Structure 1
Amino acid sequence: MIDAQDYAEFSRFLADCCGLVLGENRQYLVSSRLSRLLDEFAFAKVEDLLRALRRSADPTLKSRVIDAMTTNETSWFRDNYPFEILRQTVLPELLAKSRPIRIWSAACSSGQEPYSIAMVIAEWEATHPMKANVNILATDLSEGVLAQARSGLYDGLSIVRGLTPERRQRFFETVSNGHRIKPEIQQRVRFQKLNLMDSYAALGKFEIVFCRNVLIYFSADTKRRIFDGIARQMDSGGYLFVGASEAVGSYTDAFEILRTPQGSMLRRR
């Protein structure tokens, strides 16, 4: 078990490098998530790992630690209503303006969210005579989940979480080691490594941002910083989707709540 001093130091390391807040009495969580990494790098205990992190300028170990501690819980069309709002309300409004649309899927994990967005766009195109000029950027700070997302390959368990049989048949092909997203969907999404603690200025402007079910792991100050950063990357009238349990009003006044029959979203003031 990790002693109190090592746990406090490791908690500060995570908060400083990626904003994640462990809270109190989570020593067992840290021990379980780092156990495989300790064995791989031949560290006897977390104290040795912390010493190596302080000593080494090699970003590989730091990246592997973050990968181990990052929660990557996701599914296709998670909660469903944001994708219905996108299909029924947001896309028709923005595409009617005949301008390119940029969508950012922040903290995209292994790719289910941005690929779900791409499927919605493909379904919209199937019922309209014009091609949707939409670019999707998906970012995450974990190299491991980004590699999986770029591959577009998913196993039998993950493929059934949130996908209807019709969508599985239409948008995936069965291969020897699982199920692969078809090129028409995979090519719609560009993946890029990004730490939400860093600047977003180089990403450019977006009309739609998905930042869902990730901010619950951050401190109040970090949430304010992230919402402010997202707001700067959106012009007035842009749409933001957050998790169903994530309140924004306590951290920024840059957005107003819009309610639709399918659920709520946020609009840049």
Structure 2
Amino acid sequence: MAKEIRTESLKAWYGTSQILKGIDLHIEKNSITAIIGPSGCGKSTFVRCLNRMHEVADGALVEGKVWFENQNLYDPAMDPVDIRRRIGMVFQKPNPFPTMSIFDNVASGLRLNGMRNKQALTEAVEKSLKMAALWNEVKDRLNHSGMSLSGGQQQRLCIARALAIEPEILLMDEPASALDPISTGHVEDLIGELKKEVTIAIVTHNMQQAARIADKTAFFLSGELVEYNNTETMFISPLDKRTEDYLTGRFG
């Protein structure tokens, strides 16, 4: 079941470089929120803080709070592994496990979580591939390598892998930037369907993509949240001159 997530005074560093400078942002459940802004503004760092992936990098530091079901994910009592199960991540470049079949790629997280029943695994894999709009393309070759798929299919396989463990929130860091226009269209259509099941935050450099798929858009600049609004409102009548300048291509 989809959940909301909210940050409070979220700050992040790599070594001595401060990347995020106190972000307050409420991502609503069953919505698609686009995170936009020029390179180096903190977009990817922000989403990595939401499931505590930022902290695994050398020299990484986080301050502030991330509220998820009325719990601060940075409370010392919280288990980062459980957090990353409930808040999944899809990366910019498709990254199927190269030594695994299509089936085993999707089943990998389930097995790590202790699922051993063959029928249950088979049903979960099929369900996830259907949710990722990939089942009809691969159902007759589930034992083939995940690397045998096209780039767009590989990305949908990675989405299926993330969905298999039934996350409540799905973070996507430029999931279509390495894909051709047709594959990008498939992924965008998929994202639109998935918001019925999960809450989605997507980092994108593509303004047209944000306009097409996002319910709300957050504009980051130099580690700060400049503006957050309904996507249509922001793109038609931004409240901040910096947002207008970015959306119209004056910088970025």
TM-score normalised to structure 2 length: 0.32
Which protein has greater RCO, CA pairs closer than 8 Å, 6+ apart?
A: 2
TM-score normalised to structure 1 length: 0.31
Higher helix share: 1
